[in-house]
Amino acid sequence: MRYVITSMLVLASLFLIWLCYDSINTPIEFQEQRDLRQKPIIARLIDIRKAQIEYKDQNGRYAGSFDELIDFVKNGQKAQIYKQGEITDEQLSKGLTEQKALHFIAENLADSAAACGITDFEAFKANFKRDTSYVSVLSSIFPAGFNPDSLAFIPYSGGAKFELDTVTQATKSGLPLPLFEARAPYTVYLNGLNHREIVNLCDEAKKTDKYPGLKVGDVVTPNNNAGNWE
């Protein structure tokens, strides 16, 4: 009988030790796995931001869908301006601009150029150049081998797509202010990890009025396209 009781006490002690270990180790393992999964998701959100900024620069708004954004990355063109020669401070003070300088050169207006501080017009013509060429959006903002189709998908999600929203607000002066937001919820990319830890993470985000996951941009409060991990 004493042997049975002793054995039960030993087993109970071992069980308590395991519970203590598990209560400490589970959050640590969860955090490690969370960090592992979030790293490529953050990188993907940064890629989405780069593509959206370029899209807005060319179109005055953000792409409203991943189909639209991916097509732009695949087929869009980006202007690159080759510049040779500069306008001096003195010439600027006399009203010379790049547009005027190019006009003077194109029309061979030496007298007008002189009035703007260009003393040697022939030398200025030979050394002041502005040429525009076009390259693909894909090659200009992403490294070689980048797959544009990957932009839509959340790593570690089994094929789930990022949530993408766009709006246009108005500034105090009445000007349009385009905004975008791309999101990946905890419940999607942490699926398969400890359920209780995921619930705790979501509850904590709710209590602090934060988004339960990773996101870039904000369609409610302008934040200069910042990520919530930054």
Spatial separation of the C-alpha atoms in residues 102 and 125, rounded to whole Å: 9
Nearest to 187 by CA among 206, 207, 171: 206
pTM (two decimals): 0.79
Give me the residue spans of the domains in the chain: 33-73+145-217, 77-138
204, 177 contact by CB (below 8 A): no
Q: What is the DSSP letter of 227?
A: B
In this structure, what token pair is assigned to residue 49? 């931001």
DSSP labels for 78-95? EEEEEEE----HHHHHTT
195, 58 contact by CB (below 8 A): no
Query: One digit per residue, pLDDT tens: the chain, 230 residues?
Result: 555 555 555 455 554 554 454 555 678 899 999 999 999 999 999 999 999 999 999 999 999 999 999 999 999 998 888 889 899 999 999 898 989 988 988 999 888 889 988 888 888 888 889 888 888 999 999 999 999 999 999 999 999 999 999 999 999 899 999 999 999 999 999 999 999 999 999 999 999 999 999 999 999 999 999 999 99
